[in-house]
Amino acid sequence: MRKWMVSLVLIAMLLGQGASMANAAISFDSNGDGKIRLDEIVRYMQSNHDQDINGDGSVNVQDTKELLSLISPEVVESPIQSAVVTGMVYDQLHVPVQGAAVRLNGESLDESDDFGWFNIDDVLPGSGNILTAEKYGRQAATQPFTVTAKVGDTSTHNLQLDLPTGTVTGTVYASENVPLGQVEVSVLGGEPGIDYPKAITDSDGKYVLYNVPIGMRMLLVTPLSYAIVGSIEVQEGLNPGIDLTNVGYNFITVSGKAADSHGIGLANATITMKQGIDIIQTATSDEDGRFEFNSVIPNMHFSWHLQKEGYMDASWDGLSASDNTSIVGKEFRTVTSAPITTDLEMKYAFGTMAKSFYVNLGGYEGLVERSLSTYSLLKSKKPDDSEDQIAFVGGTDSINNDDIERLNAALRDSSVSQIYLYDSIAAPGKTMAAPERDVTIFSNSEKFIQAQIPVTARLQWTNVTKIPLPYHQVVGIVRDENKQPRPLAFVNLELNGIVVGSVLTDNNGFYFFDNLNAGSAYTITVNRGEYYEQRKDFIAPNYVNAYPILTSHDLELTAQHVANFLDVKNPSKGANKFPMPLVPAGYSVSIENSSDILKIKHDGEIMLGNTNVSVTLTFKVTYGTMPAGYRAFTVTVPANN
């Protein structure tokens, strides 16, 4: 800091306290060198708060500036700079404290705002400064600190104010006042790492929180996925009955049955349920293998994990329930940890939720793992040769497209060199993939694969029979409403919702399709503009058929077509009922709307008059549940005289 020499006599006169020059020198000359410098004047002003030089009722940097301006005009050009002292007042949980009285060196200068912050301006430079904060009769203080005074200087000092505490008790509820046990209730802290009050609810959902600082507090329930929060104005002493209740949804119950590969219940199995990002519950199955979970959030995915000694772990992902009836007694199967040694047991093991298990089949003894990305393909886990793995594939008791897709996944897997077939596969409507390397399909006993099998030397077969696909033909006739052949009707053949063939009927109403896959489900649709579309489903037989499949279609005119050709006549003179037009058998016609219901009502009743009256009628034609047809006509009701 730049120092200025001043006159001792002048200072003594300005202070006006009747002190002698020697006393003034002693008061200001802090280092005893017989000279008074600017920094010594500042230090004196800080420690002697009775020096209100400018007479404004307060002692601050303006007094020092006033003193210096009186001493020498030169000093005005270089006034003393002041600093800002700022900081935050927070409690023992590091939560900001609002409304705390903040004092600097014993003088009350500010109050902490809603966020705990305070600012004190025009603080003179110097050492030995002490900040204090006070609220609820509790006080906090800083260690002595030094303030420097350069342009823009800010000195930051935080204060932790340990507030009085209270005890909070209450109950956490799920939906409909069902207690929620084994969840954590905690008081929200200001930053991570703070030891905040927390407690675990008991089986009745009750909790007790000790040493909670007084004031407004936020309470959280963990797991956070439950979305249960609450707030309380904590007082000293006991704060009872602070209940926290779920809002926004009703918890539901889901249940299941832990079972072995044959569906026999497993007692004392541990099932862990995980929902959301942090909700974990556990249950133990009863003697019948049954278990249930309460406090489940509806329409949120969850998973089950099963563990039991002597059995492989099993997992079930992607479960979801919308209400209490969605998942009831759902069978959750696993498999024994002993090796599977027969084809039949392998089939049962495949139907479990075990991700891996042990086998002794097809010359391989070891662990097989389930691939979740390729139709649950089971594959050996040989540690030495990643390109010589065995895939274990089998069919189900009925035609199932997943069976052939699982086989094709194994054929396309570059690490698989052998495919063990533990059950026959019947997929007559599907094509078997051709491998790009040598693959052997084998079994321990005679099995078969029925599919469109590629001709390739890459495939070797052992104890597996190849059954090629038989093909079929379908011949049909389309007839009109009079049972007469209808030429030029448009006919589509659909397989799995995809049109695979289209023809027009010939002059005799016939159509023909060939090369239909055995065992496949087809749909034939017939369209002709004035007729309703007709659909007919059928399945091509799973055997060689020497004769084509025969089918027929009797078309029905659309109600709109019938309406377009209605023959509507005017009522005769003196008639009190409108003559309804004729429609074909099976159709009905009615008056849907009348422009003058005082003349012709909807039921056809005519009100006679003395003049001719024109009325517009809208007729409705219906045919069963098919779309209706409409047509408007203007008729004349003759005068009655």
DSSP code per residue over 513-554: EEEEETT-EEEEEEE-TTB--EEEEEE--SS--SS-EEEEEE
The mean pLDDT value for 169-173 works out to 90
pLDDT digits (tens, 9 = 90+) for 500-529: 899 999 999 999 998 787 778 899 999 988
Q: Among 155-164, 183-192, 208-217, 537-546, whose mean pLDDT is lowest?
A: 537-546
**Which position has the higher pLDDT, 187 or 123?**
187
**Which position has the higher pLDDT, 634 or 541?**
634
d(CA 619, CA 238): 80
Residue 38 has pLDDT above 70, yes or no: no
Residues 88, 181, single domain; the answer is no
Band (122; pLDDT cuts 50, 70, 90): confident
**Which position has the higher pLDDT, 54 or 266?**
266
Residues 455, 366, single domain; the answer is yes
Domain boundary among 309, 333, 357: 333
Residues 89, 46, single domain; the answer is no
Residues 459, 351, single domain; the answer is yes
Q: Would you say residue 2 lies in a domain?
A: no
Q: Would you say residue 406 lies in a domain?
A: yes
Q: What is the pLDDT of residue 398?
A: 59
**Which position has the higher pLDDT, 57 or 546?**
57
Q: Among 147-151, 364-368, 517-521, whose mean pLDDT is lowest?
A: 147-151
**Which position has the higher pLDDT, 66 or 139?**
139
Which of 355, 246, 261 lies closest to 304 in space, CA to CA? Answer: 355
Residues 379, 461, single domain; the answer is yes
Q: What is the pLDDT of residue 416?
A: 94
Q: What is the pLDDT of residue 567?
A: 94
% of the chain with per-residue pLDDT over 90: 52
Q: Would you say residue 123 lies in a domain?
A: yes
Strand order through the sheet with 138-141: 107-111, 101-104, 131-135, 138-141
Whole-model pTM over 0.75? no
Residues 50, 111, single domain; the answer is no
d(CA 410, CA 417): 9
Q: What is the pLDDT of residue 242?
A: 85
Domain containing residue 177: 165-245
Residues 6 or more apart whose CB falls under 8 angstroms from that of 497 comprise none
Residues 387, 463, single domain; the answer is yes
Q: Which amino acid is at 362?
A: G
Domain boundary among 311, 333, 355: 333
Q: Is 106 helix (H, G, I), strand (E, B) or coil?
A: coil
Q: Would you say residue 540 lies in a domain?
A: yes
Residues 389, 460, single domain; the answer is yes
Q: What is the pLDDT of residue 45?
A: 60
Residue 565 has pLDDT above 70, yes or no: yes
d(CA 104, CA 134): 12
Residue 23 has pLDDT above 70, yes or no: no
Q: What is the CATH number of the domain that holds 196?
A: 2.60.40.10
Residues 413, 373, single domain; the answer is yes
Q: Is 384 helix (H, G, I), strand (E, B) or coil?
A: coil
Residue 496 has pLDDT above 90, yes or no: no
The mean pLDDT value for 532-539 works out to 90
Residues 212, 291, single domain; the answer is no
Residues 6 or more apart whose CB falls under 8 angstroms from that of 394 comprise 343, 346, 347, 350, 403, 421, 422, 423, 424, 425
Which of 357, 238, 253 lies closest to 296 in space, CA to CA? Answer: 253
Q: What is the pLDDT of residue 314?
A: 96
Q: What is the pLDDT of residue 34?
A: 60
How many domains is the chain partitioned into structurally?
Answer: 7
* Element housing 269 (H / E): none
Find tokens 């321990």 and name the residue: 444
Residue 188 has pLDDT above 70, yes or no: yes
Q: Would you say residue 1 lies in a domain?
A: no
CB 286 within 8 A of CB 256: no
Q: Would you say residue 236 lies in a domain?
A: yes
The mean pLDDT value for 481-485 works out to 90
Q: What is the pLDDT of residue 236?
A: 92
The mean pLDDT value for 467-491 works out to 87
Q: What is the mean pLDDT of the chain?
A: 85
Residues 348, 463, single domain; the answer is yes
**Which position has the higher pLDDT, 574 or 24?**
574
Q: Would you say residue 324 lies in a domain?
A: yes
Q: What is the pLDDT of residue 225?
A: 76
CB 492 within 8 A of CB 475: no
Residues 348, 441, single domain; the answer is yes
Band (254; pLDDT cuts 50, 70, 90): very high
Residues 6 or more apart whose CB falls under 8 angstroms from that of 589 comprise 563, 566, 580, 581, 583, 619, 620, 621, 622
Which residues lie across from 449 on neighbouring strands? 425, 466
Domain boundary among 198, 219, 245: 245
Instruction: Using DSSP bridges, classify how beta strands 416-421 and 439-452 pair: parallel, antiparallel or unpaired.
Output: parallel
Q: Among 23-27, 283-287, 378-382, 608-612, whose mean pLDDT is lowest?
A: 23-27
Residue 422 has pLDDT above 90, yes or no: yes
Q: Would you say residue 338 lies in a domain?
A: no
